[in-house]
């Protein structure tokens, strides 16, 4: 293995690097294959890299590039019996991991190599308290007493900066938020001071501000312990922030290996250049003329609350205040973006607008009030407002052909005969970049991006005035995401459709929106044109969201952020109580900002 170009003595976390010492982990010519009916197919080909103490190596790539398979191969966790290492070696210090049996491998796992996964909830045992799980993990490797293990567990929770660590010890995983759970996972992984930590998309399921905290935490812990980290991610922003060295993978092979700065400043491979070009960046959106059309939808003082029933008689004891007094309008042909973190109520607004959840207040589509609609009028209204969901695989019926699903809205609304519907659906497929001969295929035969195109075609079938895109590009790879966003833009110009674009990704929102509403805990705290929100953010929460976005540039120096004290407050209140309502004040040019900044 050749040494990295800029063999600094310090890694970016500040941990000491030992440039001459043998690497902790050495992977040489690793090939992993899957046995299928058609023969043995390689999933990862000829991977070679070394990892030094205190170093962070990022393996970046899109879905299916083999980055997770590589990490599972190192952990000896490849799904048996079909997937196996068929060539090369993985050496941890002096040990060749490939030659170890399962019993010996179990000693290595956790003790010398630890791993954290994307979804912390599925990695934690839901029926054991956090403290017990941590102590058990420690006792599995070190022969210590119960109380000593508990002490070490508590120390581990403190080291990941979990608020109220004593209380967390006796709590169950479901009582913690996503960010807290990921911290517990990190505490568990690092409690045994492993030489290598493999983090597989550790922040992908987290909100940006929480992601920020978790990345900071990983960096601080690395500085203190000198653990070598392999960080697997699809997010080039995360790569830029964390990596000392980067490996870009595609279709199971290494495309490029370089020091982080070199990779971003002068990528050598064409694929790396394409990948970097596709990453949405803040401040990149083209200037769009202001849209001053009549509104296609207007929300006025909309409130959505969900009751939580408790007690013997199922009385409503608490209310989830999902949406509180939200007002905005969407004009014809514009893209209105709602941004905010999970649980802020942005998706609930979408559901209320299509009648999936009951609401109070006033939602007008066109000039008509949604709540008054029944039967035929409601059917007519449905034609004007369509929705594209986050996960296209979940939003398509796996047991129906895609052509049938694109034609289905026409069938439901009794438009045309069967031949006309078929030809209209075929036209739509062609319009969104699919081919007509895919008409009779099923959703599982398509890639993620193609599936989202199918959903878009289905939403277009009825010529709606408004399409609600609820996190519609969040689950897609960046290159695919860029193409789907292009498609949405083209369709907007072509058909004059308005979009309600719901997203947590500030960079994407900055690229495609005309106006933006920022939501926090069920209320809009800032609302204005894109230029107003991104050029002159007024509310503290808006600023925090913008600043938390990972910037795909390793040279970027991040302003120091106040660490969040505790968690995002809960929108659940006892019956009869509720959150304090914010008042929006105009600070000029229709830029509305909530007073009482917290």
Partner 1 sequence: MTDAIAAEPRRPAGAIARLLQRKLALLGLFLILVVVLGAVFAPFIAPFAPDDQHFDGLTIEGAPLAPNETYILGTDLLGRDLFSRILFGARTSLIIGVVANGMALIIGTLVGITAGYFRGWIGSVLMRFTDLMMAFPALLLAICLAAIFHPSLWIVAIVIALVNWVQTARVIFTQTSTLAERDFIAAERTLGAGTARILFRHILPHLVPTIIVWGTLGISTTVLLEATLSFLGVGVQPPTPSWGNIIFENQTYFQSAPWLVFLPGAAIILLALAFNLVGDALRDVLDPMQRGRD
Residues at the contact surface with partner 1, assessed by CB under 8 A: 37, 351, 354-356, 378-379, 382-383, 385-387, 389-391, 394-401, 408-409, 412-413, 442, 444, 455, 458, 462
With respect to partner 1, which residue has the nearer C-beta, 74 or 396?
396
Contact (Cβ atoms closer than 8 angstroms) between residue 332 and residue 465: yes
Nearest to 526 by CA among 542, 514, 510: 542
With respect to partner 1, which residue has the nearer C-beta, 5 or 378?
378
With respect to partner 1, which residue has the nearer C-beta, 442 or 573?
442
CB of 395 to partner 1, least distance (A): 4
With respect to partner 1, which residue has the nearer C-beta, 416 or 579?
416
CB of 224 to partner 1, least distance (A): 43
CB of 409 to partner 1, least distance (A): 5
Nearest to 55 by CA among 230, 248, 307: 230
With respect to partner 1, which residue has the nearer C-beta, 8 or 82?
82
CB of 344 to partner 1, least distance (A): 19
CB of 257 to partner 1, least distance (A): 37
Q: How far is CA 199 from the centre of its chain?
A: 15
| β pairing state of 498-503 and 466-470 | parallel
CB atoms within 10 A of CB 22: 12
With respect to partner 1, which residue has the nearer C-beta, 353 or 488?
353
| H or E element, residue 346 | helix 346-353
Nearest to 248 by CA among 221, 211, 275, 230: 275
CB atoms within 10 A of CB 455: 27
98 CB burial (10 A radius; 0-12, 13-18, 19+): middle
Alpha-carbon span 344 to 210, nearest angstrom: 14
CB of 473 to partner 1, least distance (A): 15
CB of 412 to partner 1, least distance (A): 5
Cis peptide before 436 (omega within 30 of 0): no
Contact (Cβ atoms closer than 8 angstroms) between residue 92 and residue 63: no
With respect to partner 1, which residue has the nearer C-beta, 132 or 472?
472
Phi, psi (rounded to 5 degrees) for 469: -105, 100
Alpha-carbon span 50 to 92, nearest angstrom: 10
Measured at the CA of 542, the angle between CA 541 and CA 548, to 5 degrees, comes to 85
Ramachandran class of 333: left when φ > 0, alpha when ψ lies in -120 to 50, beta otherwise: left
CB of 307 to partner 1, least distance (A): 13
With respect to partner 1, which residue has the nearer C-beta, 152 or 382?
382
């Amino acid at each position: 293995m050749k040494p990295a170009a800029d063999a600094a003595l310090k890694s970016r976390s500040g941990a000491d690097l030992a440039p001459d010492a043998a690497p902790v982990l050495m992977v040489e010519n690793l090939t992993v294959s899957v046995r299928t009916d058609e023969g043995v197919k390689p999933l990862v080909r000829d991977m070679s890299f070394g990892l030094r103490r205190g170093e962070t190596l990022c393996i970046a790539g899109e879905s299916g590039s083999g980055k997770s398979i590589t990490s599972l191969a190192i952990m000896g966790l490849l799904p048996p019996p079909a997937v196996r290492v068929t060539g090369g070696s993985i050496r941890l210090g002096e040990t060749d991991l490939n030659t170890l049996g399962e019993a010996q491998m179990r000693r290595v796992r956790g003790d010398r190599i630890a791993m954290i996964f994307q979804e912390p909830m599925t990695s934690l045992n839901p029926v054991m308290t956090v403290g017990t799980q941590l102590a058990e993990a420690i006792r599995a490797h070190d022969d210590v007493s119960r109380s000593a293990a508990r002490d070490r567990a508590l120390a581990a929770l403190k080291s990941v900066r979990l608020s109220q660590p004593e209380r967390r010890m006796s709590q169950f995983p479901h009582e913690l938020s996503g960010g807290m759970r990921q911290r517990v996972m990190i505490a568990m992984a690092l409690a045994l001071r492993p030489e290598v930590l493999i983090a597989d998309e550790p922040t992908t399921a987290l909100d940006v501000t929480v992601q920020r905290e978790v990345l900071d935490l990983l960096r601080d812990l690395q500085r203190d312990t000198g653990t070598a980290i392999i960080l697997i991610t699809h997010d080039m922003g995360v790569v830029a922030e964390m990596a000392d060295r980067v490996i870009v993978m595609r279709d199971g092979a290494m495309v490029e290996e370089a020091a982080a700065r070199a990779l971003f400043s002068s990528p050598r491979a064409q694929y790396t250049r394409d990948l970097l070009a596709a990453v949405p960046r803040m401040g990149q959106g083209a200037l769009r003329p202001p849209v001053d059309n009549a509104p296609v939808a207007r929300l006025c003082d909309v409130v959505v609350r969900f009751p939580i029933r408790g007690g013997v008689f199922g009385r409503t004891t608490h209310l989830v205040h999902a949406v509180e007094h939200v007002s905005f309008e969407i004009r014809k042909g514009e893209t209105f973006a709602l941004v905010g973190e999970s649980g802020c109520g942005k998706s609930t607004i979408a559901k209320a607008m299509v009648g999936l959840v009951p609401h109070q207040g006033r939602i007008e589509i066109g000039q008509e009030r949604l709540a008054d609609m029944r039967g035929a009028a409601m059917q007519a209204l449905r034609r004007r407002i369509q929705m594209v969901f986050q996960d296209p695989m979940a939003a398509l019926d796996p047991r129906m052909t895609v052509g049938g699903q694109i034609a289905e809205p026409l069938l439901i609304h009794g438009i045309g005969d069967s031949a006309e519907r078929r030809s209209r659906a075929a036209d739509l497929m062609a319009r969104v970049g699919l081919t007509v001969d895919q008409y009779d295929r099923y959703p599982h035969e398509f890639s993620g991006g193609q599936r989202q195109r199918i959903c878009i075609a289905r939403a277009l079938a009825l010529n709606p005035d408004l399409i609600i895109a609820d996190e519609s590009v969040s689950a897609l790879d960046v290159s695919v995401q860029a193409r789907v966003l292009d498609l949405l833009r083209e369709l907007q110009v072509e058909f004059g459709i308005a979009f309600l674009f719901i997203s947590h990704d500030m960079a994407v929102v900055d690229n495609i929106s005309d106006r933006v509403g920022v939501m926090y805990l069920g209320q809009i705290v800032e609302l204005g044109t894109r230029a107003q929100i991104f050029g002159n953010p007024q509310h503290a929460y808006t600023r925090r969201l913008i600043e938390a976005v990972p910037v795909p540039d390793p040279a970027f120096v991040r302003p120091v952020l106040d660490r969040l004290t505790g968690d995002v407050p809960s929108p659940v209140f006892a019956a009869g109580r509720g959150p304090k309502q914010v008042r929006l004040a105009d600070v000029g040019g229709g830029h509305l900002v909530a007073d009482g900044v917290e």
